Amino acid sequence: MVNRALTLLSVLAFMATPVWSANILALFSTFSPSHLIVHMSMIKTLADQGHNLTIVTTLKLKIAPHENMTFIHAPSNDDRLKAMNEGLEKLSREKLNMMKDIYNSVINAGTILGIGYDFVVDPKVKAIYENPQIKYDLLVLGYLGNEFQLGIAAKLDVPAVLIWAGGPITFVDDSVGNIYDPSYVPSITMAADPENQTHSFSWRIRNFGKWLVFKALGLALEYKMNSFYEYVKSKRVFGNDSNMPSYDEVKQRVSLLFYNYHSHSEGPVRPTVPQSIEIGGIQIQEKPTPLPVDLAGFLNNATNGAIFFSLGTNVKLKYFEPQLIETIYQVLSRQPLRIIWKWDDQKPKPGNASNIYFHNWLPQDDILAHPNTKLFITHAGKGGVAEAQYHGVPMLALSVFADQPGNAQLMMASGFGISMDLLTLNKESLEKGIQEVLNNPVYRDNVRKFSDLYRDRPLTARQSVIYWTEYVMRHKGAYHLRSPIVKLGFVARYNLDVFAILLLILVCSMIFFVFLLRLLIKKIRLKTQFKVKRE
């Protein structure tokens, strides 16, 4: 009781700290609606706190107006967005293959840079950094291959915070200097085994190989970003400003990195710098909003429970063969449970089964929070998995591409459900998978246990956003938190020069030793020969 009163008091004290209204500029040139959802949850938190947010996005936002938010739409070249969507479509048709994924992201890197470039030269964005009408206190940059846009922070002379919609990946970690030790920190596509703190030789050698590939890729991307920044500068995008700092200098404006993960429950356990702030589950509402009336009726009446089926926003069902949709429909329409199916297209529905509710727009978080929801069939996007974990709903993952297979593997290894290959699905395997997750209580128990850990934190995700963002603004940047590692080059970072000197010393002393040994042997031989001669 006393404890609870104390907690309540500290929360009240936290809420009651005097607030000021800072001017914050948020730039989100991402083409991914699921990233934007995470970014906007952070922004809304700051606006609710009383700060004045100016939000510029490439995608058109569908969001309720807010008195403390000003929206600016800076659309990208349609051809580029189309190319990006076609790239995603091609990926989802093919079988999973990490090397292909990497190859495709490198191929798409040009398009991503192009989208980011269109964004900074948009007249509405140019107006912001060329003739700012108000004094900004902070730049929030949605991270996705667009660090050259930090030039805008230099132009406005404000600190910057990065926000990344997912969990730890090497490229993002490198921007603040988090340590990615390949002997125990799993690489993006490697699911860590939560039971095993020590890793087998084969695990480490695979992880090391992947780490090496991502490191090389990161260095190449960094090089590309640097030259792209110089290109943007040479195009006089930031004005005819000879004082514009170098890429290395603008990168130093990064004060914090917000991640969408919670290491204390999700892992991996790894060393992080004070600049990386975990706001896992920021997109999840702590209190669900009431469902639309028809959906609420449908779910409340689901006496046998309900299954929520959604493949997210990036993976559209139209990318898949009609046969696959038919298979899924056949199995789902036979279930005694009610089904809520996220149906993305204008296309006719696969059928009229009375137990299925099709809809284009569904409040995923609130559906998962509903006590009748027994199973979540998901593409294993980071957001959906986190929401299901938060609400304690077991999962059946049908992953397609990018980080999804890794999320699915990790989810399965954690015992929250099972994972199946979407492209080779048939009626029998799908039915078996659904029955396994519904009827074996181990999945629900595991995910409920996790849910308890996930919610147990000193500051909620929203409180962390407010505290740390205001911290940066109070101190005009959190540069004192920067790890020295970010200024070290690759050679210095891994002490390659020190090792080289040590090796040199070792080799020299060995040569010297051999030389000495030979001399000694020669002397002994001479002596013995001399002795023999004398005798």
Ligand X SMILES: *[C@@H]1O[C@H](CO)[C@@H](O)[C@H](O)[C@H]1NC(C)=O
The strand ranges marked E within 39-158 are 52-57, 69-73, 138-142
Given 7, 21, 246, 435, the residue binding ligand X (CB under 6 A): 21
Report in angstroms how near the CB of residue 301 gets to ligand X at its nearest.
Answer: 4
How far, in Å, are 30, 130, 235 from residue 123 at the CA level?
Answer: 18, 10, 15
Q: Does 222 bind ligand X (CB under 6 A)?
A: no
Report in angstroms how near the CB of residue 136 gets to ligand X at its nearest.
Answer: 9
Token code pair at residue 123: 């007249």
C-beta closer to ligand X: residue 297 or 441: 297
Q: Please give the backbone phi and psi of residue 363, each rounded to the nearest 5 degrees, phi first.
A: -75, 85
Site size for ligand X, by CB under 6 A?
22
Q: Report the distance separating Cα 15 and Cα 470, nearest Å.
A: 13
Q: Report the distance separating Cα 400 and Cα 396, nearest Å.
A: 13
Report in angstroms how near the CB of residue 144 gets to ligand X at its nearest.
Answer: 23
Q: Does 304 bind ligand X (CB under 6 A)?
A: no
Sign of torsion over alpha carbons 98, 99, 100, 104: positive
Q: Does 196 bind ligand X (CB under 6 A)?
A: yes
C-beta closer to ligand X: residue 301 or 529: 301
Q: Does 345 bind ligand X (CB under 6 A)?
A: no
C-beta closer to ligand X: residue 135 or 522: 135
Q: What are the residues whose beta carbons fall under 8 Å from the beta carbon of 337, sequence distance 6 or more?
A: 302, 304, 305, 306, 307, 355, 374, 375, 438
Q: What x/- string results for residues 490 through 509 when contact with ligand X is judged by CB under 6 A?
A: --------------------
Given 50, 322, 441, 484, the residue binding ligand X (CB under 6 A): 50
Three-state DSSP state, 182:
coil
Q: Which residues pair with 259 in a beta bridge?
A: 278
Q: Does 330 bind ligand X (CB under 6 A)?
A: no
Report in angstroms how near the CB of residue 338 gets to ligand X at its nearest.
Answer: 9
Q: Report the distance separating Cα 93 and Cα 109, nearest Å.
A: 20
Q: Does 57 bind ligand X (CB under 6 A)?
A: no
Number of other CB atoms surrounding residue 190 within 10 Å:
20
**Block residue for tokens 């779910």:** 299
Q: Does 429 bind ligand X (CB under 6 A)?
A: no
3-class secondary structure per residue, 268-285: CCCCCCCCEEECCCCCCC
Given 15, 121, 134, 524, the residue binding ligand X (CB under 6 A): 134
Given 30, 34, 41, 54, the residue binding ligand X (CB under 6 A): 54
In the region spanning residues 235 to 254, those forming contacts with ligand X, defined by CB under 6 A, are 240, 242
Q: Does 298 bind ligand X (CB under 6 A)?
A: yes
Q: Does 197 bind ligand X (CB under 6 A)?
A: no
Single out the segment in contact with ligand X by CB under 6 A; choices: 119-127, 168-176, 194-202, 485-493: 194-202
Given 193, 222, 421, 431, the residue binding ligand X (CB under 6 A): 193
Q: Report the distance separating Cα 142 and Cα 163, nearest Å.
A: 5
Given 7, 48, 179, 289, the residue binding ligand X (CB under 6 A): 48
Single out the segment in contact with ligand X by CB under 6 A; choices: 297-305, 473-481, 500-508, 526-534: 297-305
Q: Does 346 bind ligand X (CB under 6 A)?
A: no
The runs of H, that is alpha helices, within 380-440 are 382-391, 404-413, 427-439
Q: Which residues pair with 25 in a beta bridge?
A: 54, 139
Which positions lie near ligand X, rule CB under 6 A? Answer: 21, 23, 48, 50, 52, 54, 66-68, 70, 134, 193, 195-196, 200, 240, 242, 297-298, 301, 351-352
